[in-house]
């Protein structure tokens, strides 16, 4: 009798437990919940990690490092200009305003700003490289930009260009063209003038002024070169001006007529 009661109790206990079929039915319903919990934990971890990394990476600026091939710009002066940004976080720096501030120096052409780990601001400066003088007190950079430094002392050997300010780049191109054409003669351009209507006047390094005018520039220069080589080179020290603004030929203004010409007159 006792064994029968125990058997019935064990059967009732087993009937109360979930069957494998029942578990197979409710476990899949938990998967979306588990995935959602895992995704939330991942997002929370990333958010916390982002905050830690942001604070770690965005440290206050503690040093300003100035570099570049500098001949006219004083790096220490640039550092003093930027002292006000010390302690500012890099992500909060007004980079455009810093570039504009430094660009007020006429010797500065371009400015590049970089983060130098961990707390330095790297300032790379590209100077204007003068290759010609411009008018009264100005200089022309190799990129054809006119700038006016506090002083142009020490640049007297550069050629002197004068013309409309908005055509400086065109003048530099033409200066290079004239220089190349005159190189076989051993001559250099010491001065180049462009009138408002586009007429060219050259001053050569031997003191001769060359009136080229406007239009047919290459044709006129080639004619000058041909005649100069054949007939005028030996008398260059006595020539004041050569005018090639003609369809054919040229005219010469003498500072002192050469003896050979005097004898033939």
Q: Do residues 115 and 149 share a domain?
A: no
Question: Which pLDDT value is given to residue 205?
Answer: 96
DSSP state of 61: P
Give CA separation, 149 vs 104, 138, 152, 159, in Å.
11, 7, 7, 17
- Dist CA 153 CA 180 (whole Å): 27
Same domain, 93 and 143: no
What pLDDT sits at residue 48? 52
Residues 156 and 92 occupy one common structural domain: no
In a domain, 226, yes or no: yes
In the three-class reduction of DSSP (H, G, I as helix; E, B as strand; rest coil), residue 162 is classed as strand
Mean pLDDT of 83-88: 83
In this model, does residue 57 exceed pLDDT 90?
no
Strand-strand pairing, 120-127 and 63-67: parallel
Which residues, other chains included, contact 118 with Cβ-Cβ below 8 Å and sequence gap of 6+? 59
Q: Establish if 15 belongs to a structural domain.
A: no
Cis bond leading into 215, ω under 30°?
Answer: no
In a domain, 12, yes or no: no
Q: How many of the other CB atoms lie within 10 Å of CB of 139?
A: 23
Query: What is the reported pLDDT for 5?
Result: 45
- First and final CA of the chain: distance in angstroms? 162
d(CA 194, CA 7): 120
Q: Do residue 96 and residue 169 come from a single domain?
A: no
Structure tokens at 241: 């001006």
pLDDT of residue 34 exceeding 90: no
Q: How many CB atoms lie within 10 A of CB 163?
A: 20
As a dihedral over the C-alpha atoms of residue 246, residue 247, residue 252, residue 258, rounded to 10 degrees, the angle is -170
Residue pair 66/120 in contact by the 8 Å Cβ criterion: no
> Count of domains in the chain?
2
Are the C-beta atoms of residues 199 and 214 closer than 8 Å to each other?
A: yes
Percent of the chain with pLDDT over 90: 55
Question: In angstroms, rounded to a whole number, what is the distance separating the alpha carbons of residues 242 and 117?
Answer: 63
Residues 73 and 151 in one domain: no
pLDDT of residue 214: 92
Final residue belonging to a domain, choices 72, 104, 127: 127
- Residue 2 confidence (pLDDT): 44
Same domain, 76 and 147: no
pLDDT score recorded for residue 16: 55
92-150 pLDDT tens trace: 888 899 999 999 999 999 999 988 877 888 999 999 999 999 988 999 998 888 999 99
If asked whether residues 164 and 198 sit together in one domain, one would say yes
Band of residue 37 on the pLDDT scale cut at 50, 70, 90: low
Is 251 in the same domain as 170? yes
Q: Do 119 and 171 share a domain, yes or no? A: no
Same domain, 58 and 98: yes
Residue 165 has pLDDT above 50, yes or no: yes
Residue 19 forms part of a structural domain: no
Q: Is the sign of the CA dihedral 68, 82, 114, 110 positive or negative?
A: negative
Closest by Cα among 35, 47, 38, 119 to 85: 119
Which residue, 100, 99, 105, is CA-closest to 123?
99
The more confidently predicted of residues 54 and 223 is 223
Provide the CB-side half-sphere exposure for 154 (13 A, CA): 6
Q: Are 225 and 184 in contact (CB under 8 A)?
A: yes
**Does residue 18 fall inside a structural domain?**
no
Question: Is the residue at 10 inside a domain?
Answer: no
Residues 183-192, mean pLDDT to the nearest whole number: 96
- pLDDT at residue 63 tops 80: yes
- On whether residue 9 sits in a domain, the answer given is no
Domain of residue 99: give its range: 32-127
Q: Are residues 115 and 54 in the same domain?
A: yes
Q: Which of 69, 93, 127 is the last residue of a domain?
A: 127
Any idea what the CATH number is for the domain that residue 165 is in? 3.40.50.11690
115 and 142 part of one domain:
no
Residue at which a domain ends, from 101, 127, 153 = 127
- Which H helix or E strand runs over 226? helix 217-227
pTM of the model: 0.69
201 occurs within a structural domain = yes
């Amino acid at each position: 009798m006792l064994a029968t009661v125990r058997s019935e109790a064990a059967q009732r206990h087993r009937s109360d437990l979930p069957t494998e079929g029942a578990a197979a039915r409710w476990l899949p319903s938990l998967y979306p919940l588990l995935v959602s919990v895992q995704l939330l934990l991942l997002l929370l971890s990333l958010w916390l990690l982002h905050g830690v990394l942001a604070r770690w990476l965005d440290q206050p600026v503690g040093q300003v490092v100035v570099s570049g091939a500098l001949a006219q710009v004083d790096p220490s002066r640039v550092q003093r200009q930027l002292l006000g940004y010390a302690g500012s976080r890099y992500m909060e720096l007004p980079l455009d305003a810093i570039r504009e501030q430094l660009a007020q120096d006429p010797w500065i052409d371009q400015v590049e700003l970089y983060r130098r780990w961990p707390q330095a601001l790297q300032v790379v400066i590209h100077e204007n490289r003068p290759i010609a003088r411009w008018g009264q007190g100005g200089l022309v950079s190799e990129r054809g930009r006119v700038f006016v430094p506090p002083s142009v002392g020490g640049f007297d050997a550069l050629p002197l260009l004068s013309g409309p300010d908005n055509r400086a780049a065109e003048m530099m191109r033409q200066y290079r063209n004239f220089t190349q054409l005159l190189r076989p003669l051993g001559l250099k351009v010491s001065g180049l003038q462009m009138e408002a209507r586009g007429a060219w006047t050259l001053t050569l390094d031997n003191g001769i002024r060359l009136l080229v005018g406007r239009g047919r520039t290459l044709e006129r220069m080639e004619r000058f070169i041909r005649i100069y080589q054949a007939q005028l080179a030996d008398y260059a020290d006595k020539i004041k001006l050569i005018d090639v603004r003609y369809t054919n030929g040229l005219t010469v203004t003498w500072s002192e007529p050469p003896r050979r010409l005097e004898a033939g007159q």
